[in-house]
Amino acid sequence: MDSYFLLKTAHILSATLLFGTGLGTAFFFWMAHRRGDIAAIAVTTRHVVLADWLFTTPAVIAQPLTGWWLMQRIGYDFSQSWLQAALGLYLLAGLCWLPVVWIQIRLRDLAQAAWRSGAALPAAYHRLARLWFALGWPAFIAVLATFWLMTRKPVLW
């Protein structure tokens, strides 16, 4: 089988995992959060953190590696404006995702503690949940825009 085909498939699959896992875990966390059931929130945040480690993290690593290898294979260079924009958006999404990872771990821990003690979720949980939500939007939009750039490859400047 052609190595280009395998590389491109790996790049597309890792992009799919990155986007799909991010969207899926965000949906399930947000729905549990909105419901307000501390037990459901505790279980969901535990699964969200696990999914990020199992699926999102490897995809985050695979994307630039497979992208670099594809560039080398095809002969693209960094001077192409669509590629520069895509890399900038990838970095923007990553800058949003890194604090989100910490926030999700903290949300998990706060929800677990509240669930075990029978207490209400603390104010810190609600502040972090709002920040998690706010950071998700630019990352989501950046990934969508990156998909557009990667499929269209427009000349931007």
Q: What 3-state DSSP class applies to 149?
A: helix
| 157 in any annotated domain | no
Q: What is the mean pLDDT of residues 1-20?
A: 94
Q: What is the pLDDT of residue 129?
A: 98
Q: What is the pTM of this model?
A: 0.90
Question: Is 51 inside a domain boundary?
Answer: yes
Per DSSP, helices labelled H in 52-122 are 57-74, 81-117
115 within some domain: yes
Whether residue 1 is predicted with pLDDT greater than 90 in this model: the reply is no
Q: What percent of the chain has pLDDT over 90?
A: 96
pLDDT score of 12 = 96
Q: How many domains does the chain have?
A: 1
Asked if the structure places residue 88 within a domain, the reply is: yes
User: Measured between alpha carbons, how far apart are the two ends of the chain, in Å?
Assistant: 37
47/107 Cα distance (integer angstroms): 12
Tokens at 117, concatenated: 């003690």
Question: Which pLDDT score, from 0 to 100, does residue 26 have?
Answer: 96
* Residue range(s) defining the domain that contains residue 125: 3-152
> What are the pLDDT digits (tens) for 71-92?
999 998 889 999 999 999 999 9
> How many CA within 13 A on the CB side of residue 57?
10
What is the reported pLDDT for 53?
94
- Flag whether pLDDT at 21 surpasses 90: yes
Give the pLDDT mean for 107-126.
Answer: 98
